[in-house]
């Protein structure tokens, strides 16, 4: 069986996307997904997504990490699948779609490569020593550091992600350094088990954590520089709850193609009826 795929990137966080509106692709296959995400033996990607039909919404986003396991929300993936939905003609200027953490609203530019995605509201931010910990759709650890360009994000991020507090469920680890305007962020991602060029739920967590750190309230905009480009966060904070959180930035189709996957990705008649 040949699988048609599309490759997208959002600030260098890259994904394989598949149109599964007809529902005939069996994606519950960690081996297949991890092999397609492999950068040497596959297409390469930090994750893989399936755009599916979902009653009451424009579409449903089904997300897998590069390790082939289904995961929590992916912010840059969410922005890329919105660009993909526009490319497919499923949406035009805005959308309401369903993801693993619930419904999301998003707006897309006429050019189709700039997406502003509403994230879930956040009301719980805890501390782990100096770090901030919260769930922005995915779990995140945020630590302020200096000289971030020189930091060994892989080694230090992996060590935090695998410490006894986080080992079982995992966590994404973000290091942040203030810039003249906004912040520079580098992230070690769970499920990729490596540093990625950007993480949308990660920069969201950083922007919220820095608002708390700096005791800012009201309507806040935060520019964030990542290894793969620039992202912007806009949100409201009343001192207790973060609401109207929008993650904004590029979402670009890189290429498309087809890949031979044998019969691995096809539902058998038996599976279809379960
Ligand atoms: N890159 C994503 C986050 C994807 C999920 C993450 N790896 C996890 O398992 O929590 C983003 O842009 O938010």
Atom of ligand 1 nearest to the CA of 172: 10
CA 74 to ligand 1 centroid distance, Å: 4
Mean pLDDT score, 174-184: 98
User: What ipTM is given for this predicted complex?
Assistant: 0.97
**Taking 50 as the threshold, does the pLDDT of residue 121 lie above it?**
yes
Q: Which residue minimizes the CA distance to atom 10 of ligand 1? A: 138
Q: Which residues are catalytic?
A: 74, 199
Q: Return phi, psi of residue 84, to 5°.
A: -65, -40
> Residue 232 gets which letter from DSSP?
E
Residues 25-38 have pLDDT tens digits of 989 999 999 999 99
Pocket test for ligand 1, best of 162, 191, 231 (most atoms within 8 A of CB): 191
* Binding-site residue set for substrate: 13, 65, 75-76, 172, 189-190, 200-201
HSE on the CB side for 268, CA within 13 Å?
3
Q: CB under 6 Å to ligand 1: residues? A: 13, 46, 65, 71-72, 74-77, 138, 172, 189-192, 199-202
Mean pLDDT score, 218-222: 98
CA 11 to ligand 1 centroid distance, Å: 13
Residue pair 251/79 in contact by the 8 Å Cβ criterion: yes
Mean pLDDT score, 18-24: 96
Percentage above 90 pLDDT, the chain: 94
Q: Which residue minimizes the CA distance to atom 2 of ligand 1? A: 74
Mean pLDDT score, 132-149: 98
The residues, any chain, with a CB within 8 Å of residue 237's CB and separated by 6 or more, are 208, 211, 212, 216, 217, 218, 220, 243
Residues 69-95 have pLDDT tens digits of 999 999 999 999 999 999 999 999 999
Ordered alpha helix ranges (H), the chain: 30-37, 75-88, 153-161, 200-213, 269-273
Quick check: helix, strand or coil at residue 173? Answer: strand
């Amino acid at each position: 069986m040949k699988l048609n795929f599309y490759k997208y990137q959002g600030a260098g966080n890259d994904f394989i996307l598949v149109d599964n509106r007809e529902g005939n692709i069996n994606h519950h296959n960690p081996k297949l997904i991890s092999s397609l995400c492999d950068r040497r033996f596959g297409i390469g990607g930090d994750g893989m997504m399936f755009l599916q039909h979902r009653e009451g919404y424009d579409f449903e986003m089904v997300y897998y990490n590069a390790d082939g396991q289904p995961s929590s929300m992916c912010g840059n993936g969410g922005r890329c699948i919105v660009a993909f939905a526009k490319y497919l003609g499923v949406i035009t200027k805005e959308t309401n779609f369903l993801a693993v953490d619930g419904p999301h609203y998003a707006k897309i530019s006429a050019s189709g490569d700039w997406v502003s995605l509403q994230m879930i509201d956040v009301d719980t931010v805890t501390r782990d020593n100096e770090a901030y910990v919260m769930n922005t759709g995915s779990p995140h650890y945020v630590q302020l550091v200096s000289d971030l360009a020189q930091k060994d994000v892989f080694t230090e991020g992996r060590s935090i992600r695998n410490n006894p507090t986080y080992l079982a469920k995992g966590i994404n680890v973000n290091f942040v350094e203030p810039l003249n305007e906004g912040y520079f962020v580098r992230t070690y991602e769970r499920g990729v088990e490596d540093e990625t060029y950007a993480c949308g739920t990660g920069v969201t967590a950083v922007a919220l954590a820095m608002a708390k750190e700096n005791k800012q309230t009201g309507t806040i905009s935060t520019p964030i520089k990542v290894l793969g480009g620039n992202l912007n966060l806009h949100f409201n904070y009343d001192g207790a709850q973060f609401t109207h959180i929008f993650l904004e930035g590029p979402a670009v189709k890189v290429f498309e193609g087809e890949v031979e996957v044998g019969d691995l990705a096809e539902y058998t008649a038996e599976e279809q009826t379960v």
